[in-house]
Amino acid sequence: MAAQPRWLDAREDRAWRVYKHAQEQLDSRLRRQLLQDSGLSEAEFRILAMLSEHPTGRVPAGELCSSMGWEKSRLSHLTRRMQEQGLIAREPNPTDARSSLIVLLALGRKTIEDAAPQHVQQVRQDFIDVFTPGELDLIGDLFERLLHHFAEEPDGALDEA
Amino acid sequence: MAAQPRWLDAREDRAWRVYKHAQEQLDSRLRRQLLQDSGLSEAEFRILAMLSEHPTGRVPAGELCSSMGWEKSRLSHLTRRMQEQGLIAREPNPTDARSSLIVLLALGRKTIEDAAPQHVQQVRQDFIDVFTPGELDLIGDLFERLLHHFAEEPDGALDEA
DNA sequence: CCGATTTGGGTGATGCGTCAACCTATGAGA
DNA sequence: TCTCATAGGTTGACGCATCACCCAAATCGG
């Protein structure tokens, strides 16, 4: 099956390679910079950011998982480590004994408030400011199309040729 | 310093969030699918692909590093693991006693030749085919601009506001 | 009310990439 | 030739994400 695949032509190959390469560079730059000036990983940053945007600073774990699109175990490992660092706490959810609430602690709030400005600045410098507003809209449109595509094809569907 | 950063406006924020989210989804889909139907990680796939494209199937480690944009230690760990799996071998480079040659073994060649068609098919399905040829060129142009930007700003340069 | 399934979450092993440190070979200058 | 800086590569510790399970609470069917 699929003995004679359609290889990528020059245009396709170039788009894919360039995209991949740029994406990796961008990722590693932002990761390194964030780590250096705040000691946070991207994942930790996003957790703290989401908690700090929440009015109460107390969010059920499942909600974090689904809004990040993460696996449960990933969040579990991560929150355990963050708890050990004193950034957050985990406490039982009164409305559902299975669930747990992730709680932003004072140190976590301070950490994210210190880290955010520099991180935004980096995102600006390494991504936003490289494009015009129109191009940003375009990027939004194109990658939103990818998201729709993924939503329609739930991962395992390459059989029915 | 940087007490009052320019936060992202609605358009910028949307572009960044959508891009990030789509990129993560795309990555995790391709990684999972590749792993499932060939047992390879993306990194292993790329190494094998590059070796198999090379006429001799013997490439100096440093060359792999620079064309992938990887750190030396990453390649070292990876090639050790691949060697243990019998995919490649490492042998001394006759022209430079410090360097080593990464050699594609028969098992490695078979593995990549089996894996490549399906992987290309996945890249097509999850990326290429979602866009028009014109859009692919556009993506190539936009992300190439990112690469040029990175090349000009060698990582640590956010001081001079 | 009881049994089966589902849901929310946690655990341990494993593979991967980074960082920092290290070692040897090479090459350039005195 | 000697010295010293640099380049190519390796190693070990560590943090992170995934996978495959596991567990208890909730929910649904009867």
**Which residues of chain B have a CB within 8 Å of the CB of A13?**
none
Tell me the pLDDT band of B63, cut-offs 50, 70 and 90: very high
Higher pLDDT, A3 or A159: A3
CB-based contact (8 Å) between B16 and chain A? yes
- Report the alpha-carbon distance of residue B90 to residue B18 in Å, rounded: 42
- Residue A20: closest CA among B7, B50, B135, B146: B146
- Tell me, what's the pLDDT at B155? 67
The vertex-A35 CA angle with A30 and A37, nearest 5°, equals 100
- Report the alpha-carbon distance of residue B23 to residue B9 in Å, rounded: 21
- Tell me, what's the pLDDT at B58? 94
Name A93's bridge partners. A96
Q: Which bases of chain D come closer than 7 Å to a protein CB?
A: 7-13, 15-21, 24-26
Residue B3: pLDDT over 80: no
- Residue A17: closest CA among A8, A28, A26: A8
Number of H helices, E strands in chain B: 6, 3
Which nucleotide in the DNA or RNA is closest to residue A62, CA to C1'? Answer: C8
Please list, in sequence order, all residues whose beta carbon lies within 8 angstroms of the beta carbon of residue A81, skipping any fewer than 6 positions away. none
- Tell me, what's the pLDDT at B152? 86
- Tell me, what's the pLDDT at A3? 55
The helix or strand, by DSSP H or E, that contains position A97, with its residue range, turns out to be strand A96-104
Each residue's pLDDT tens digit, A110-133: 999 999 999 999 999 999 999 999
Average pLDDT over residues B112-130: 96
DSSP symbols for B42-103: HHHHHHHHHHHHSSSSEEEHHHHHHHHT--HHHHHHHHHHHHHTTSEEEEEETTEEEEEEEE
Structural domains in chain A plus CATH codes: 33-152 (1.10.10.10)
Interface test with A, best of B34, B113, B139 (most A CBs within 10 A): B139
Average pLDDT over residues B58-78: 96
Tell me the pLDDT band of B153, cut-offs 50, 70 and 90: confident
